[in-house]
Every structure is written in structure tokens, then in C-alpha cells.
């Protein structure tokens, strides 16, 4: 049995018995790196609540038929495949930390394109960009976390990558449920709101019509003025 290489057991942010601030920095850095896999999971789960609403969309919003909906859900994997290759090159050229920071650019750009999409091709382009970022994040985040963690917590912090992917998918599903419930409540409450609003408008108009004419200065009442006229 060969002895362990000292470089394999040497922590990058301080020894296991180091000070408490150094230990907290390791967990904080690992959590920051795991935000990439969190966005990865959200991008994967986003198509589930988005496709039904896009299939019901009316012009001028982009509408998805069955074929376009399949591409909308699958094109993210094509971007992830390209992102994996790009991430392998980027992690050696730019470093682990900078690679994680750079993968946030296609994430933001992809969702911005999806939000402002005017046709199906813009939707697919936005999904392709988010898939590219997913591929980079899924490669760089585990490498970065494994290198900054000391051996005592390396397995614990390494498991956060897959955990955050699942949490991201769950958040996408929950976001879809919240949007559906909000739309349902809006449809239910809108007629009631219109009735109340119309009732208040009619009451205001009636009060303006029946408002008494103010008396002339120095007069007691219109009847008194006629009696002495």
C-alpha cells in the first residue's frame, strides 16, 4: 500500500485544525461555487412549468407546438455538451474561480433572451445559452470544491454539488406552481374586483349628480329668496 501524496492531503485554505474563520471560509467558498449547480438544476427544471404556458400562449407571445416544445426541453443538453468541452479548456486557461464567474454570463444572457423572446428561435437560443453555462458549471464546480476542501470535509462538500442540482430543479417546479396558483387566483378574483370597481364608480357618479347647488352669498335658501322676490 503506497503512502498518500502530501499534496493530496494538503488543504488549500488552512489545515483541519486551523482557526474557525478559515474553516468557515471553506464552507462559504463551497456554497458560492455550488450556486452554479443550483442554476444548472433550475435550468433543467425550467422547461416543465414553462412548456404548458408557452403552448397556450396567444400572439404576439411565442407559441410552441409539440415539435418546438420537444426542442425547447432538449436543446439545453446540446448546450451542456458544448459547455463541458469549453469548461475543460477554460478551467486550465482561466482558472477555477474565474471560470465559475464567467459561466454566470451565459446564464443571465440565456434567461434574458428567453424573457424577451419574440419567436421560437429566440426561445431555443436562450435555452442553448443556459445549457452552455450548465456544462461549464457542472465541470468546474466539483473541481473547485474538491481542491479547496480539506480531507475531513471533502466528501461532505462534494455532495453539495448534486444536492444543489436537485434543489434547483425543485425550485423551478415550485416557481411553476406559484405562477399557476397566482393566475388561478387572478382569474377568480378579477370579476369580483370589476364588480366592486364599477359599484364605486356608479356611487361616485350618483353623488356628483345629486349634489345640491350652493346658495348665493347672503341668501338663506332658494325658497326664501323666491318668497321675498
pLDDT (tens digit, 9 = 90+) per residue, 205-222? 555 555 555 554 554 555
Residue 89 domain-assigned (yes or no): yes
Residue 192 domain-assigned (yes or no): no
- Overall average pLDDT of the 166-172 stretch: 91
Confidence of residue 21 (pLDDT cuts 50, 70, 90): very low
Residue 220 domain-assigned (yes or no): no
Residue 1's pLDDT is 42
pLDDT at 46 over 80: yes
* Mean pLDDT score across all residues of the chain: 77
- Higher pLDDT, residue 5 or 168: 168
Residue 223 domain-assigned (yes or no): no
**83 neighbors 134 (Cβ within 8 angstroms):** yes
- Higher pLDDT, residue 215 or 141: 141
Domain span including residue 27: 19-187
Which contacts (CB < 8 Å, 24+ apart) does range 178-183 have? 179/49, 179/53, 180/49
- Overall average pLDDT of the 147-151 stretch: 86
Q: Give every CB contact of residue 31 below 8 A, 6+ residues apart in sequence.
A: 160
The CATH number linked to 48 is 1.20.1250.20
CA 126 to chain centre: 14
Residue 222 domain-assigned (yes or no): no
Residue 64 domain-assigned (yes or no): yes
Residue 166 domain-assigned (yes or no): yes
Residue 191's pLDDT is 60
What DSSP state is assigned to residue 87?
H
Highest mean pLDDT among 125-129, 184-188, 221-225: 125-129
Residue 133's pLDDT is 93
pTM: 0.67
- What percent of the chain has pLDDT above 70? 67
Q: Count the domains in the chain.
A: 1
Residue 13 domain-assigned (yes or no): no
Residue 76's pLDDT is 92
Amino acid at each position: 500500500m503506497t503512502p498518500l501524496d502530501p499534496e493530496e492531503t494538503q488543504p488549500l485554505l488552512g489545515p483541519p485544525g486551523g482557526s474557525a474563520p478559515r474553516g468557515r471560509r471553506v464552507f462559504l467558498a463551497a456554497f458560492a461555487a455550488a450556486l452554479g449547480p443550483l442554476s444548472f438544476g433550475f435550468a433543467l427544471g425550467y422547461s416543465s412549468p414553462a412548456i404548458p404556458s408557452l403552448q397556450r400562449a396567444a400572439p404576439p407571445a411565442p407559441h410552441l407546438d409539440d415539435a418546438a416544445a420537444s426542442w425547447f426541453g432538449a436543446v439545453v443538453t446540446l448546450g451542456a455538451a458544448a459547455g463541458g468541452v469549453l469548461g475543460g479548456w477554460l478551467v486550465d486557461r482561466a482558472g477555477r474561480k474565474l471560470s465559475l464567474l464567467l459561466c454566470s454570463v451565459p446564464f443571465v444572457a440565456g434567461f434574458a433572451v428567453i424573457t424577451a423572446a419574440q419567436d421560437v428561435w429566440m426561445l431555443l437560443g436562450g435555452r442553448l445559452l443556459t445549457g452552455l453555462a450548465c456544462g461549464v458549471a457542472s465541470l468546474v464546480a466539483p473541481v473547485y470544491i474538491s481542491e479547496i476542501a480539506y480531507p475531513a470535509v471533502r466528501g461532505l462538500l462534494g455532495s453539495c454539488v448534486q444536492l444543489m442540482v436537485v434543489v434547483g430543479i425543485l425550485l423551478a417546479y415550485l416557481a411553476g406552481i406559484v405562477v399557476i396558483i397566482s393566475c388561478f387566483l387572478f382569474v377568480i378574483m378579477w370579476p369580483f374586483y370589476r364588480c366592486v370597481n364599477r359599484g364605486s364608480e356608479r356611487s361616485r357618479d350618483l353623488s356628483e349628480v345629486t349634489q345640491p347647488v350652493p346658495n348665493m352669498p347672503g341668501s338663506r335658501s332658494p325658497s326664501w329668496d323666491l318668497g321675498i322676490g
